[in-house]
Amino acid sequence: MPFEQPLKKFVLAWPGSLTEQITLTPTGKSGGAGEIFGIDTQPNLLAKLYHATTTPPQLNHYQRKIQWMLNHKPTLPKISAEYQGIVQLAWPEAMIMHQSDFVGFAMRKIAFDQTLELDYLLNRRQASQEDFDIDYGKLVAVCFNLAAIISCLHSMRIAIVDLKPMNVKVYKSELFVSILDCDGFHIATDEFRSDAPQVTPDYLAPEFQGGSVTHPEAQDRFALATIIFRLLNYGIHPFSGVGVNSRDYPPELAGRIRNRLYPYGNSAHKNVLKVPASVHEVLPNALRELFDRAFSASAINRPSAQEWVASLSVYAVKHSGQMLPCNRGHLKFSSSECPTCLREQLIQGAAARRRSFLTRMQTAPTRTLKYVKKTLRQTHTSPFQAALAQTQFAAVHLAPRASLSTRNAIAAEILWIFGLLISYWWIK
Amino acid sequence: MSLMLTSVWVVPLLIAWAWRSRQAATASAWLLRIAFAGFGAWAIWFGLYVHEGEPAGIFFWKPTLLYWTLATIAIIAPMLSWTAPAKIIVGAYFALSSREWRWINRGFAIACMLLGAVNLLVASMTSYRNWVDFKFSCLTILLFIGLFRLNFVWLPLIVDLSFHLYRRTVVAYRYVSQLLRTP
Ligand SMILES: Nc1ncnc2c1ncn2[C@@H]1O[C@H](COP(=O)(O)OP(=O)(O)OP(=O)(O)O)[C@@H](O)[C@H]1O
Ligand SMILES: [Zn+2]
């Protein structure tokens, strides 16, 4: 239930025993677990109150988790004094109590006018609409900063688990990264444990697809590599590609991740082709090897956040000479061709091909046939039986639908029609 | 002309063969298919090609032959512990235990035996008119099986197909209109 009025008589309880009376003002923002409020005396903080539907045991767990987090604030990568207002983690700063009951926590406010969601960096046009012009120097810096924060968390046995671009904000001019939703992190220390049940399939490591995340740090390593890959490759997901045999190629990313269908490795995948517009081939070898270890090898070899920090640091430091402008002025990795130019060529090539409209119209009949063929290859499911199954007859159970392809179903039904006609002929 | 006639049944069979499921069929299913292949061959031969008609003696026996063949299959298959043939005929819709299927199968076998016998009785003891009426009422069974198939399988299949085709058409349309927009 969203609150509209300011809420009085709340108490901000700082670590130690300092407390203060506060009034909360609604911001209109809310998430799965709670709702976000402003705090009248603390303009730099926001309060997150857990939803009223939270059960007492859950709330109790949150309280212990927040308590632990207040006592174990991670030491983050140092940022110089000029960037005072930057928040790298919306870590809990104080508890919020109401009539001496725990109801939520306060965290530092991330200035939304100075930041943009990491999602936007995956698409140049979207980013420039937000007044952010992307170049490879900025991208590497963002990757480096993200890896650095995660590395700090991992060293404290804290994992993010639901790591995805949506939960990460980027400061537009400073390129620092901040991570939201800290109260959802996985904590696995000797004195305190808290699981993180939420996951996002597109960023979930193959070994956890369809199961639970038993090794949260390995999960973060996978998600981190996926995000870095997408940032450095124009948003292309490492598991998007073109199936050689479309029949065996899962339509959704989760299935491709599970089957480890990664087409951007140093050695090509035999069943999947890369997306034509990908520029992975001109990324530095050191990074490509890390990607290969993250996506094609087993989880044991997956590079840690610390390894990413080490490999990215050479590029992230300005004036290191590792990032140089190409002859058209784009920043690029000094060791290889300019990815920005390459991308433009690929896109223009595609546009030119698209322009040959006539040739395409001439091939239209074959393509139409392909559409029909593809349709016939779909798995056939019967909505009628699904509807019937939902009504759940007490005595008669409906048969689980055979997962026939549409072609097989048609073949079977042709035989059925023949059977009925033959019977008719014999009985009539 | 006869080429046309032939393609009417050969082409669907070829399609059915090309798109057949690669899952192994059960022995009972094969038995049914073989029986129907025999009946079908006879029907096609005498129905489509031989204009003098069938051998005269078989005329009254035809429904009985079909019923008793089905009854035989329905009795023999469980004895060899193959799948109950009744399950093949209605098993696509309901999930029952194999014990229940055995009972349904027995009922099916008995019904077929009775129908076959009644056909002979009606044909030999009453008028030709009565016999035609009897056969007609038997056809309603077929009608029921057909309606079941139509409702549970064919309509969904058609809905499914048209849905996918529609989606593909929309994609194709968008694609073409986008081609037209960029000169
Ligand atoms: N520190 C912060 N500074 C600014 N805005 C924030 C901050 N924390 C959260 N928000 C805003 O509030 C919204 C909801 O917060 P949050 O995602 O933490 O809630 P949640 O209940 O954990 O949701 P979910 O679990 O579904 O992610 C966020 O989308 C974000 O816009
Ligand atoms: Zn360039």
Q: pLDDT, tens digit, for every residue of A347-370?
A: 887 777 666 655 656 666 666 666
Query: Which structure tokens are listed for A148?
Result: 């650095």
- Give which of A116, A134, A123, A118 is closest to A277, Cα–Cα: A123
- pLDDT at res. B176: 82
Note whether A239 and A327 are same-domain residues: yes
Residue that has been written with the tokens 């061709």 in this structure: A337
Structural domain includes residue A296: yes
CA dist A289 and A280 (Å) reads: 11
Domain boundary among A89, A108, A127: A108
Note whether A350 and A373 are same-domain residues: no
Structural domain includes residue A252: yes
Note whether A326 and A241 are same-domain residues: yes
Expressed in angstroms and rounded, the spacing between residue A247 Cα and the centre of ligand 2 is: 38
Q: How far is CA A400 from the centre of its chain?
A: 34
CA dist A296 and A302 (Å) reads: 9
Domain boundary among A355, A390, A409: A355
CA dist B33 and A336 (Å) reads: 65
- pLDDT at res. A372: 62
Structural domain includes residue A380: yes
Cβ atoms of A307 and A290 within 8 Å: the answer is: yes
Expressed in angstroms and rounded, the spacing between residue A226 Cα and the centre of ligand 2 is: 24
Please say if the pLDDT value at position A5 is more than 80. Answer: no
In angstroms, the first-to-last Cα distance of chain A is: 69
Structural domain includes residue A1: no
Interface-testing mutation among B160, B173, B180, with chain A (most A C-beta atoms within 10 A): B160
Most confident of A153-162, B4-13, B127-136: A153-162
Element (H, E) at A45: strand A45-50
Note whether A139 and A33 are same-domain residues: no
Note whether A91 and A119 are same-domain residues: no
Structural domain includes residue A150: yes
Note whether A260 and A117 are same-domain residues: yes
Note whether A80 and A183 are same-domain residues: no
**Residue A23's domain is classified under what CATH number?**
3.30.200
The amino acid present at A316, given as its one-letter code, is: A
Q: What's the pLDDT band for A311 if we cut at 50, 70, 90? A: very high
- pLDDT at res. A379: 47
Structural domain includes residue A335: yes
Of A118-132, A270-284, A294-308, A348-362, give the lowest mean pLDDT range: A348-362
Residues 6+ apart with CB under 8 A from A227: A118, A143, A146, A163, A164, A165, A168, A203
Please say if the pLDDT value at position B23 is more than 80. Answer: no
Label residue B72 exposed, middle or buried (CB < 10 Å: 0-12, 13-18, 19+): middle
Note whether A72 and A170 are same-domain residues: no
Question: For ligand 1, atom 30, which residue shows the shortest CA distance?
Answer: A29
Q: What's the pLDDT band for A151 if we cut at 50, 70, 90? A: very high
- Indicate whether this complex's ipTM tops 0.85: yes
Note whether A249 and A348 are same-domain residues: yes
Q: pLDDT, tens digit, for every residue of A62-81?
A: 999 999 999 999 988 888 87
- Which residues, listed in sequence order, are joined to residue A163 by a DSSP beta bridge? none
Q: What's the pLDDT band for B182 if we cut at 50, 70, 90? A: low
- Give which of A201, A187, A121, A195 is closest to A157, Cα–Cα: A187
Using the beta-carbon criterion (under 8 Å), do B142 and A420 form an inter-chain contact?
A: yes
> Does B179 touch chain A if contact means CB atoms closer than 8 Å?
yes
Note whether A159 and A209 are same-domain residues: yes
Element (H, E) at A194: strand A193-194
| 3-state DSSP helix/strand/coil % of chain A, to nearest 5 | 45, 20, 40
Please say if the pLDDT value at position A91 is more than 90. Answer: yes
- In this prediction the pTM is 0.61
Q: B40 contacts in A (CB within 8 Å)?
A: 418, 422
Domain boundary among A355, A375, A392: A355
SS3 A303: coil
Note whether A238 and A284 are same-domain residues: yes
Percent of chain A with pLDDT over 90: 53
Using the beta-carbon criterion (under 8 Å), do A371 and B168 form an inter-chain contact?
A: yes
CB pairs under 8 A between A and B: 136
Mean pLDDT computed over A338-353: 84
Note whether A156 and A244 are same-domain residues: yes
Mean pLDDT computed over A373-377: 58
Mean pLDDT computed over A200-228: 93
- pLDDT at res. A360: 59
Q: pLDDT, tens digit, for every residue of B167-179?
A: 888 888 887 877 7
Give the count of domains, chain A: 3
- pLDDT at res. A4: 61
Q: pLDDT, tens digit, for every residue of B131-142?
A: 888 888 888 888
Å between A125 CA and nearest CA of chain B? 19
Interface-testing mutation among B100, B115, B139, B161, with chain A (most A C-beta atoms within 10 A): B161
Tell me the residue range of the domain where A273 lies: 112-355
The backbone torsions φ and ψ at residue A196, rounded to the nearest 5 degrees and listed phi first, read: -120, 100
**Residue A176's domain is classified under what CATH number?**
1.10.510.10
Please say if the pLDDT value at position B183 is more than 60. Answer: no
